[in-house]
């Protein structure tokens, strides 16, 4: 992880397996905030209480 946006989105940097062998580009990925994910689960009919431990994810 390289940064966290104010709304909770996390930005990750990934490298391909050959980064130590040749010049390879990195890959940036931005996830969604946990709160937005829980709202989507609720809208899909999931029991959000079952996901209470997600807040301790690092």
pLDDT in tens, 2-35: 889 998 899 999 888 776 777 878 889 999 888 8
Q: What is the pTM assigned to this prediction?
A: 0.56
Token pair in block for residue 33: 């905030």
Residue 48 is inside which H or E element, if any?
Answer: none
Please give the Cα distance from 47 to 50 (Å, whole number): 6
SS3 state of residue 24: coil
Q: What is the pLDDT of residue 58?
A: 52
The yes-or-no verdict on residue 50 having pLDDT over 60 is yes
């Amino acid at each position: 992880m390289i940064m966290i946006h104010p709304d909770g989105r996390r930005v990750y940097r990934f490298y391909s397996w050959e980064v130590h062998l040749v010049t390879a580009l990195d890959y940036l990925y931005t996830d969604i905030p946990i709160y937005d994910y829980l709202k989507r689960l609720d809208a899909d009919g999931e029991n959000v209480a079952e996901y209470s431990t997600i807040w301790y994810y690092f």
